[in-house]
Structures are given as C-alpha cells and as structure tokens.
C-alpha cells in the first residue's frame, strides 16, 4: 500500500509516494541521494501530470528520510537533520492542479494507495478555493507571467475567510513545501490558493463574460482583459502605459475590497416580525438593525440607536459615528437596498419585506460575513426547515413470548416494531394537504404554527416526493437503527426519533442511564461504582445485540475495571485485547487484581508462541493480550481464531483508517468489538469514523459519505443540523463520562492547578540573550523547511536555558545555585518530603532528568526514581510498583514521552511540570497519572514558568486564545515556526527586569 504525498512549488503540483515494501535505508553518502523507499513509478497508480525526478528536503537520519506514520515503518526522533533526496514524482501544471486534486481527494475504495497528510491538506485547500469562487469571494486582476500580462482571478480574504486562511497557513504540513530551497510558507500557500481559485473561478463563470466575438489583438486592453478572464489568460502585445493604467484601477479595487478588516466592525442584526396588536409595524415587516461590534470580542455590541444617543464601549475610535457610516457605505456594494437607510442623517435600522428578508438570509448575509461584517440572524436561520420524524413502537407480546423474552434478555435486532414517518416543519408535524398548500403558495419564508421557517424548492420537492413513499408499517429493530444512523437524505433529513422500550433506550444515546444497572459480577474482586455498573449494563446490552461500542470515559474513571467486569459477565467467551506495549503489564496486573479467575495469555515478544502452540495457548485462555505492532505482524495468526470480542485499548491508535496498523486490526473477525479511549476525537472527525468503523463495520457508511454528510459541514461551517445528526447517529454507540461531573463521581478529590513563576539567574539571563542573538541571525538568513528547523532548535535551546545552564551546555558542571527553576523545585521537594508525601516531576528532556535524579536524591536524602524511554519493561514495572507500595516519601522523575499515559501513580498527590510542552492535552494526560480513581487526596498540580521568557509569553498566548490552543497548539510546537521574524524576536526576547 503506497502512501501518496503532495507538494507545491510555484506554478506546479508535485505528487510522489512512499513504498513501505522497499528498503528503509540507504548506504549512499552522496550530497543528494535517491530516496530509498520512494515509489519508483507513482504514475503506475495515479494518472496525472508528467514523470519527473525532483529534489525534496526532508527530515532525515544519516541513512534515510523519516518515514511518514502512515507507512507503519519505525521512525526515530533522534539525530534528525534536513537532507536533500531525489524522488520520482509526477509534476502537474498549476492550471491542472484543481482537477487532479479533485480526483485524488475522492479515490476509488479499492485503490492501492492512501493519501498522506500533505495530499489531504492540498485537497482541503482546493475545496476552500472552490468555496471562495462559488461565493464570489474573488476579484479579477492583471498580473505578469513570464514577462507577459495575464488576466487572473485572485481571492478576496476578509473576515471569516481571512481567519480560515490563517488556519490553513498554520496547519500546512512541512512536506507541502519540501520541493524548493528558500520556499516560504506564505509564498507557497498564496501561490497554490491563487492558482486553484483561478481554475475554480473559470469553471463557475459563464463561458463568455462579453457578448459577441472575442476581441482581437488590436482591441482595447480592457476588452481583451475582460475576455481573457474566461479564455486564454495571456495578453501579449499590450502597451506598457495601458497595462499600468488598468493595473492601478484593479489594484485600487482589490484594496477597497480588503478595507473591511479592523478592530471595530459594522454589524447587522435581522429581527423577525413579532405579533403585537399595539405595534404600527406590519405583521410581516422585518427589521434590520445596524450596530458597531468588536471584531475580537463580539460581546461588545452597540446598536446604532444607542450610538447616536451617545453611548460607548471600550475600544471604540474617537469618532465612532464615522466608522458606522463608512462601514454602511461599503456594505451598500453587497446590499444595494441599504442605500435607502443612508438617506437618513442618523441611520439606525431599516424595514424589510418578507421577500427582502429572505434575500438577506440567503444571499446578502453570507457575503457580508465573508467581507468582515458582523451578522446576527434568528436562531432558526440556515437550518433545514423540512425533515422527518420517525416513531417506532414495540409490538405487544403474548405472555409466553414475554416470559421467553425475559429469559433471553428480550430485545434483539430482529424484533419487529411498528414504525411511522411523519413530515416535520419547524417543530411540528404537517399533513400532506398542508404541505401541498405551502408548495402552491411559493413563499420562501412562512410562519408555521407561530414559528418562522425557510422553505426552498429542493426541500419542498423532496418532501412532496416522500409523501408518496411507504410511511408506516413494520420494520425490524435493526432496520430502524440503520435508518436512524443513515439520517435521511441531504434535502430531507431525519430530525426527530421517538421510540419506546429497549429500542428507545438504545436510540436515545442514554442507554447507560435508562437500563437497569447490572450488579458487580461474581468473581470480580471489588465493588463497581454506580456509574461503572451503568457502564457494564450498557456494554452488555450492546454485546447481546451484536453491536460494538466506544467506551470513552475520562481517564481514570475505570475503563479497565468495566471491561474486565464485562468479560466476567459474558462467560464463557474469548476476548482479544490489543493495546500499546506500555500497557500490557498494566492489563496483566489489573486482570489478576480484579478478575483472578480469568485465564490470561500474553502474545507478544520474540518468544511468543506460533502455529499449534499458539492455538493451544488461546484455547486455554479467556483473555489474550497483544500489542498493535504484533497484531500487524501476526495478522494471519490472529485471524485464524474465532474471537467473541476484540477490544482496542487507547483506540486512538487506529484513528487513521488508512494505516496498515488500523487496517490489520479491522481485519480480525469477531462477534462484537469494543474501543476504549479517553479521546475519541483528537484532531478531526475522520478519527471518529475510523474508530466507529472498527466497532461496527459499515454502519456509518463509507468514509466518502461521512466526510460529505458530517465532517465537512461540521468542521468547515459548524453546521448545527449536521452536528445533531452525527450525535443521533453515533450516540447509541459512544459512552462518555467526565471526572469533573460530580453526578458521575462525587468522591474524587479536587485537582488544584497553579502556575509557579520562576526567575532566571544572571547566568541564565546572559545565556538566554546569547542564544536569542545567535539563533535569530540564523533564522533571518534561512527560509522554508530550514527556517522551521532553526526556529524549533532555538525554542529547544531557550527552554534548556530556562531549565539550567548545564542542560544547554552539557558540560557536566555543578547544578546548585544556577537555576531559578531548580531552586524552586528544591524548596518544593523539601516541603513534600517533610509532609511525608510523594510527587511526580515531569520533564520532556531525558538528558535533563538524568542530571536531576542523582542531584535531587542527594539533596533530599530520599529515593528519587527516574523513569524514561530507555528502561526495559521489567524495570519500568519495578519502579511503578515501588512508588505505589513503598510508604517512604519520595520523588518520581518521569520523561513526559515515556510516562505521560498508561500508568497508575495515585500514591502521588503532587504533580510538577518542570518544563512545558505547550500542549494542554499532553499535560492533562500526564497529570492524570495521579488524578484518577484510587486517589484519596487533593492533587496539587504546578506548572513551572520562567518570567520574562518565551515560556511566559507562550503561556499568555494560550490563555488569550483557548480556541486556537485546542485547534492548533494541540499539534505541539509546530505552529510557532510559522510566526514572522519580528513576531519571533518579540516572543524570544528577554524581559531583563525579571532577572533576579
């Protein structure tokens, strides 16, 4: 299975592929070496462009480029540098890139390749270009190409479109611009977007803008340019003076289109008619209110009527009335009807007819929002007005049948139920006659039973067509379930479900709360908490139906205990559990602790059993444990067993459906499947589809349909209808509870998080400034991938300085008295030890932990344990066991990467993050090693930050932009590399007033 990548260099799309079946390293020492596992002929699987050998600059070790995660090949993170490799590729001219990406974004399901992140990114960028063209967010321009004037369409990026463009820039995979030295991120994304938007614009434009024959070479330049916007873009032979004059006018037009961006914007609020017998307004007369609004804080909103009365809010310009009038003047270009309001001396609002209000909803509001204006619409605006309501009722059973049902646990997917489909408009059902009357009226905005709704022709036609279909009768419960998951169609979605009995419990998405909790099973050593009993009943309920589920409880709520109790409840059965290697020992110990009667076999390591020995071992086991890597290597062996259940722990390991590991896990047959994960969606909704498709293969349909129906509307437009439909479709199969919910667990102690501000010593400050001056000189002199590497290197060095001078210098020098952070840790360690308590101290640098461990042990005269990635599994287990069982107060130093997940360390009630990863999810996972079930004391979490340094500044950026932190910072530190040089200088500079 090839992994196909996409890159962009000015004027062309580059497509190449990795072949995991080829040797992963090379012995060549040439300056530019052949990529060892690049597919030699990508044209054999992709029909596009022309074959060409290109040079790519990629993160590499001494012997090979770092493979992408999708290949399944092992990748190292040590000793990396940028190196140049020659790669067989397909080169596509810019004007053909949009069409090629359209075919690659939606490939055939049996294709012999998967798309890498860079190709998926370019596909999304192509979709963004098409969306801009479709919404008219473009202007014609006159550019120079190869010394010849040319007519091109260029994007207008204001308001929400500007924000989207920034997100695309922040999210660009480095591989996209790996094909050229000095290729900046800004140039790459601007060139790619402009080229693809020009192609998209020409596809949505009429074949001819001008009437009559196309002008000849001697015609006026303006006429030739206009014709070239839908034809050959080149304009050879144009006089220089004519080119300058036309270009100036077009540049002024583009500049005016971008004027809407600013800290204060004009906002429009559409207010629906309110029936009021005392009002002079017509019952069908709408109001459009004008206002000023803060672009950064939309809650700062001042209606124009209050503005004229003299009211203000902080941040307004000195003459806000001029800002309002100027903004309304610009808006007239998009909403000509607005000119009537500008005839007034102090415009505050205007009245609209129902037809004008509909035009505003459908056409003007999106244009205003895209242009940077604020727009507030009624809550119902944009929602599908017409939908379907499904009602399902259990069929009555005879007494004999009822007793058998109870004995057999009753409900099954083959059970027949009575169903009925009703048409719904707004919040109420309508008859066929009422629908026909609405269709005859041809009014786009109507009030139905006191509620305003939008009705378009497509929805009405779909509803009228549905009237003639079968709308009631009998279906199996399984068929009803599939209808709910399918959710109707795009024009006539399923908007409401009303079912009773066990089917209603399942479809509600609240089965865990509505089912009778199962008691703690016999053989379970311990007592399940009430919410865990509800979780067990839900898991057992799904299992009886042959359905899979995602147990997505928060970390520390006992997913392991609930799973083991399920295995005891469903005996005899044979379960295969797949987990990361670091968790195998945890499962063995937890099974021995909670369910000692379960027979456990671990299938992992070089001495694992094969062939007949494997079959014999499995035959004598209730629970077989293996790892994701072993499942990939031993797929055929594992497929030979008739499993009752396959469980994936830390199921985010299969969140990418295209990886070999994920495909291997899916290929193992089982009666039911269960995914355990605290983070079912980390980055995008395709991960949820991948995990759901493991649990219930095919239930959500193909990935292509899921992307079109749910992922794109929700991620790109925050579509509320699509969000509700996805929740309705997946709710029956996902159980998610949070530790912070006191109704779930009331006896878990508090988690108190605090920031600990540390000062640099004079020595640290001197080193810090030297690093900034040295690294900024390197950053300023490089571009492209090399610049990104230098930025990351600078950040690492500055963080090392903040830790300790010896960490940066690596000279083995003394530790005491030279670091503000270490001094604070010494004080804190003394307090914790004197109180007879234990602490976890996380660092992301293994070399720094190795320096701290003996020093802290000598300073505290107490054990300081040190867990890092270089330890054997047996040694890791020994350290964890000692920390948990030894009553002596102590410090446990841990490498964030090696110990951030999978460990139960509730003996500690203090957590210290010595150096920050700037990824809240990673830090929270590490903290949850102590803050989980079994913890009886409040947990004190301290995050060390050096004042005046990049640590303080990045922390402030995250606090100001929580939404950005979850969307961008969640990828680690890569987003910082795309800041401008001036922004980096400001970020890295030291505030010397904070030095002690």
pLDDT tens per residue across span 586-638: 798 889 989 999 999 999 988 899 999 999 999 999 999 999 999 999 999 99
Q: What is the pLDDT of residue 822?
A: 94
CB 925 within 8 A of CB 900: yes
Q: What is the pLDDT of residue 961?
A: 41
Q: What is the pLDDT of residue 971?
A: 37
According to DSSP H, which parts of 258-309 are helical? 304-308
CB 666 within 8 A of CB 697: yes
Q: Residue 960 pLDDT > 60, yes or no?
A: no
- Write the DSSP string, 641-686: S-EEEEEEESGGGG-STTSHHHHHHHTS-EEEEEEE-S-S-SS-TH
Reading the block at residue 513, the tokens are 């709360």
Q: What is the pLDDT of residue 595?
A: 95
- Over residues 371-382, the pLDDT tens digits come to 778 899 887 776
Beta-carbon contacts of residue 410 (< 8 Å; ≥ 6 apart): 502
Q: How much is the pTM? A: 0.58
Reading the block at residue 415, the tokens are 């059970």
Cα 115–Cα 117–Cα 121 angle in degrees, nearest 5: 100
% of the chain beyond a pLDDT of 90: 33
Q: Residue 208 pLDDT > 70, yes or no?
A: no
Q: What is the pLDDT of residue 213?
A: 66
- Residue 600 CB-density burial (10 A; 0-12 exposed, 13-18 middle, 19+ buried): middle
Terminal C-alpha separation, the chain? 58
Q: Residue 4 pLDDT > 60, yes or no?
A: yes
Q: What is the pLDDT of residue 996?
A: 55
Q: Residue 849 pLDDT > 60, yes or no?
A: yes
Q: Residue 864 pLDDT > 90, yes or no?
A: yes
Q: What is the pLDDT of residue 5?
A: 93
Across 244-258, 700-714, 760-774, which has the greatest mean pLDDT?
Answer: 760-774
- Phi, psi at residue 91, to the nearest 5°? -110, 125
Reading the block at residue 127, the tokens are 């979709």
626 bridge partner residues:
578
Q: What is the pLDDT of residue 212?
A: 52
- Over residues 122-162, the pLDDT tens digits come to 988 998 998 888 777 888 899 998 889 999 999 988 777 88
pLDDT band, very low/low/confident/very high, at 911 (cuts 50, 70, 90): very high
% of the chain beyond a pLDDT of 70: 88
Q: Residue 815 pLDDT > 50, yes or no?
A: yes
Q: What is the pLDDT of residue 898?
A: 78
Comparing 724 with 401, the larger pLDDT belongs to: 724
Q: What is the pLDDT of residue 406?
A: 31
Which H helix or E strand runs over 882? Answer: helix 873-885
Reading the block at residue 438, the tokens are 């609405």
According to DSSP H, which parts of 135-238 are helical? 159-170, 185-204, 221-228
Which of 376, 158, 226 has its CA nearest to residue 288?
376
For residue 42, the Cα-to-chain-centroid distance in whole angstroms is 30
Q: What is the pLDDT of residue 161?
A: 80
Owner of token pair 């008295």:
817
d(CA 901, CA 913): 15
Class of 530-735 in CATH: alpha beta
Owner of token pair 């289109």:
257
For 751-994, CATH number out of 3.40.50.300, 3.30.1360.40, 3.40.50.11540, 3.40.50.720 equals: 3.40.50.300
d(CA 37, CA 25): 8
3-state secondary structure 787-819: HHHHHHHHHHHHHHHHHCHHHHHCCCCCCCCCC
Q: Residue 964 pLDDT > 60, yes or no?
A: no
Q: Residue 952 pLDDT > 80, yes or no?
A: yes
For residue 352, the Cα-to-chain-centroid distance in whole angstroms is 40
Q: What is the pLDDT of residue 109?
A: 55
d(CA 413, CA 665): 26
Q: Residue 181 pLDDT > 70, yes or no?
A: no
Beta-carbon contacts of residue 689 (< 8 Å; ≥ 6 apart): 657, 700, 703, 706, 711
Q: Residue 432 pLDDT > 80, yes or no?
A: no
CB 38 within 8 A of CB 7: no
Q: Residue 821 pLDDT > 70, yes or no?
A: yes
Reading the block at residue 80, the tokens are 């990396």
Average pLDDT over residues 294-323: 87
Q: Residue 50 pLDDT > 70, yes or no?
A: yes
pLDDT band, very low/low/confident/very high, at 69 (cuts 50, 70, 90): confident
**Mean pLDDT of the chain, nearest integer:** 83
Q: DSSP E strands: which ranges in 283-415? A: 286-294, 301-303, 349-352, 374-376, 386-394
CB 195 within 8 A of CB 110: no
Q: What is the pLDDT of residue 890?
A: 94
Judged by average pLDDT, the poorest of 168-177, 353-362, 656-665, 777-786 is 777-786
Q: Residue 205 pLDDT > 80, yes or no?
A: no
Across 25-39, 263-277, 483-497, 583-597, which has the greatest mean pLDDT?
Answer: 583-597
Owner of token pair 């999978």:
902
Judged by average pLDDT, the poorest of 580-584, 706-710, 723-727, 916-920 is 916-920
Comparing 621 with 965, the larger pLDDT belongs to: 621
pLDDT band, very low/low/confident/very high, at 705 (cuts 50, 70, 90): confident
d(CA 652, CA 650): 5
Alpha-carbon torsion 236, 240, 241, 244, what sign? positive
- For the chain, the domains span 2-136+174-202, 264-376, 389-507, 530-735, 751-994
Across 147-156, 499-508, 582-591, 750-759, which has the greatest mean pLDDT?
Answer: 147-156
C-alpha distances in Å from residue 445, one per residue of 272, 281, 362, 456, 730 = 11, 18, 11, 9, 33
Average pLDDT over residues 782-809: 86
> Of how many residues is the chain composed?
996
Q: What is the pLDDT of residue 910?
A: 93
Say yes or no: do domains 530-735 and 751-994 share a fold: yes
- SS3 category, 12: strand
Q: What is the pLDDT of residue 174?
A: 87
d(CA 121, CA 747): 45
Comparing 682 with 695, the larger pLDDT belongs to: 695
Q: What is the pLDDT of residue 70?
A: 79
d(CA 86, CA 54): 6
Comparing 47 with 649, the larger pLDDT belongs to: 649
Judge if the upstream peptide bond of residue 572 is cis by omega within 30 degrees of 0. Answer: yes
Comparing 411 with 661, the larger pLDDT belongs to: 661
Q: What is the pLDDT of residue 900?
A: 67
Owner of token pair 């080229």:
195
Comparing 978 with 216, the larger pLDDT belongs to: 216
- Over residues 557-584, the pLDDT tens digits come to 789 999 999 999 998 999 999 998 767 8
d(CA 941, CA 839): 10
Q: DSSP E strands: which ranges in 792-946? A: 839-843, 864-867, 891-895, 910-913, 939-946
Q: What is the pLDDT of residue 37?
A: 92
pLDDT band, very low/low/confident/very high, at 398 (cuts 50, 70, 90): very low
């Amino acid at each position: 299975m090839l992994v196909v990548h996409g890159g962009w260099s000015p004027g062309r799309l580059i497509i190449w592929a990795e072949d995991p079946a080829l040797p992963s390293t090379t012995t060549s020492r040439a300056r530019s070496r052949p990529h060892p596992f690049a597919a030699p002929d990508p044209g054999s699987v992709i029909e596009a462009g022309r074959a060409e050998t290109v040079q790519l600059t990629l993160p590499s070790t001494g012997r090979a480029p770092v493979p992408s995660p999708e290949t399944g090949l092992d990748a190292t993170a040590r000793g990396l540098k940028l190196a140049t490799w020659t790669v067989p590729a397909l080169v596509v001219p810019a004007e053909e890139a949009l069409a090629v990406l359209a075919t690659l974004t939606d490939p055939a399901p049996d294709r012999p390749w998967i798309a890498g992140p860079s190709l998926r990114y370019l596909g999304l960028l192509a979709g963004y270009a098409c969306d801009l063209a479709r919404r008219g967010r473009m202007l014609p321009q006159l550019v120079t190409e190869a010394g010849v004037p040319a007519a091109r369409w260029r994007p207008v990026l204001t308001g929400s479109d500007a924000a989207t463009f920034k997100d695309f820039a922040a999210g660009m995979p480095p591989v996209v611009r790996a094909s050229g030295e000095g290729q900046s991120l800004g140039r790459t994304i601007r060139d790619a977007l402009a080229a693809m938007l020009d192609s998209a614009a020409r596809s949505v434009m009429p074949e001819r803008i001008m009437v009559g024959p196309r002008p000849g070479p001697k015609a006026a330049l303006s006429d030739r340019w206009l014709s070239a916007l839908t034809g050959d873009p080149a304009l050879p032979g144009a006089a220089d003076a004519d080119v300058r004059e036309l270009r100036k006018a077009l540049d002024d037009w583009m500049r005016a289109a971008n004027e809407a961006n600013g800290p204060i914007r004009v906002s429009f609020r559409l207010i629906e008619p309110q029936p009021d017998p005392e009002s002079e307004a017509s019952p069908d007369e709408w109001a459009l209110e004008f206002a000023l609004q803060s672009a950064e804080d939309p809650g700062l909103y001042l209606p124009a009527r209050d503005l004229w009365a003299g009211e203000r809010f902080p941040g307004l310009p000195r003459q806000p009335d001029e800002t309002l009038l100027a903004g309304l003047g610009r808006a007239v270009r998009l909403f000509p009807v607005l000119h009537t309001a500008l005839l007034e001396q102090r415009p505050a609002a205007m009245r609209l007819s129902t037809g004008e209000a509909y035009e505003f909803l459908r056409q003007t509001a999106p244009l205003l929002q895209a242009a940077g204006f604020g727009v507030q619409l009624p809550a119902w605006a944009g929602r599908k007005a017409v939908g379907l309501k499904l009602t399902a009722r259990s069929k009555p059973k005879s007494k004999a049948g009822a007793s058998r049902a109870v004995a057999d646990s009753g409900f099954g997917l083959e059970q027949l139920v009575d169903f009925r489909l009703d048409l719904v408009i707004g919040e109420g059902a309508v008859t066929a006659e009422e629908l026909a009357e609405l269709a005859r009226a041809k009014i786009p905005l109507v009030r139905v039973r006191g509620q305003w709704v939008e009705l378009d022709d497509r929805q009405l036609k779909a509803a009228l067509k549905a009237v003639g279909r079968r709308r009631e009768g009998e279906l199996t419960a399984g068929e009803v379930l599939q209808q709910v998951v399918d959710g109707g169609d795009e024009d006539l979605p399923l908007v409401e479900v009303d079912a009773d009995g066990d089917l209603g419990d399942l479809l509600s998405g609240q089965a865990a709360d509505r089912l009778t909790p199962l008691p703690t099973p016999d053989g379970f050593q311990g007592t399940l908490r009430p919410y865990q009993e509800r979780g067990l009943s839900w898991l057992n309920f799904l299992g009886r139906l042959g359905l899979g589920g995602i147990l997505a409880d928060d970390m520390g709520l006992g997913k392991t205990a609930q799973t083991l109790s399920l295995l005891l409840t469903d005996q005899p059965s044979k379960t295969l559990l797949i987990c990361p290697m670091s968790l195998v020992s945890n499962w063995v110990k937890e099974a021995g602790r909670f369910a000692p009667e379960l027979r456990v076999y671990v299938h992992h390591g070089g001495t694992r059993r094969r062939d007949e020995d494997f079959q014999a071992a499995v035959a004598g086991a209730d629970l077989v444990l293996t790892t994701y890597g072993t499942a990939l290597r031993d797929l055929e062996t594992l497929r030979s067993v008739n499993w009752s259940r396959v469980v994936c722990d830390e199921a985010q390991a299969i969140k990418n459906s295209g990886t070999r590991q994920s495909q291997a896990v899916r290929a193992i047959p089982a009666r039911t499947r269960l995914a355990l994960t605290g983070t079912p969606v980390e980055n995008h909704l395709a991960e949820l589809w991948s995990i759901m498709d493991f649990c219930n293969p095919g239930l959500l349909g193909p990935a292509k349909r899921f992307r079109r129906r749910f992922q794109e509307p929700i991620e790109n437009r925050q579509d509320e209808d699509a969000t509700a439909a996805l929740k309705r479709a997946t709710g029956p199969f996902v159980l998610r509870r949070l530790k912070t919910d006191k109704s779930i667990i009331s006896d878990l102690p508090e988690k108190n998080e605090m920031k600990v501000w540390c000062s640099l010593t004079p020595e640290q400050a001197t080193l810090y400034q030297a690093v900034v001056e040295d690294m900024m000189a390197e950053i300023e002199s490089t571009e492209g991938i090399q610049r990104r590497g230098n930025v990351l290197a600078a950040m690492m060095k500055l963080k090392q300085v903040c830790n300790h001078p010896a960490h940066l210098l690596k000279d083995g020098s003394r530790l005491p008295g030279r670091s503000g952070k270490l001094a604070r840790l010494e004080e804190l360690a003394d307090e914790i030890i004197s109180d007879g308590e234990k602490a976890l101290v996380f660092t992301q640098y293994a070399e720094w932990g190795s320096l701290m461990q003996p020093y802290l042990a000598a300073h505290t005269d107490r054990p300081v344990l040190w867990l890092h990635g270089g330890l054997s599994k047996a040694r890791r287990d020994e350290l964890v066991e000692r920390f948990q069982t030894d009553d002596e107060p102590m410090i446990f130093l841990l490498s964030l990467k090696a110990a951030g997940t999978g460990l139960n360390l509730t003996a500690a009630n203090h957590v210290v993050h010595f150096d920050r990863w700037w990824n809240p999810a990673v830090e929270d996972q590490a903290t949850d090693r102590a803050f989980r079930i079994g913890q009886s004391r409040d947990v004190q979490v301290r995050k060390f930050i050096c004042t005046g340094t990049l640590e303080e500044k990045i922390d402030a950026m995250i606090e100001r932009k929580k939404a950005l932190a979850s969307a961008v910072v969640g990828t680690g530190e890569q987003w910082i590399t795309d800041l401008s040089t001036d922004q980096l200088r400001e970020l890295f500079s030291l505030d010397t007033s904070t030095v002690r």
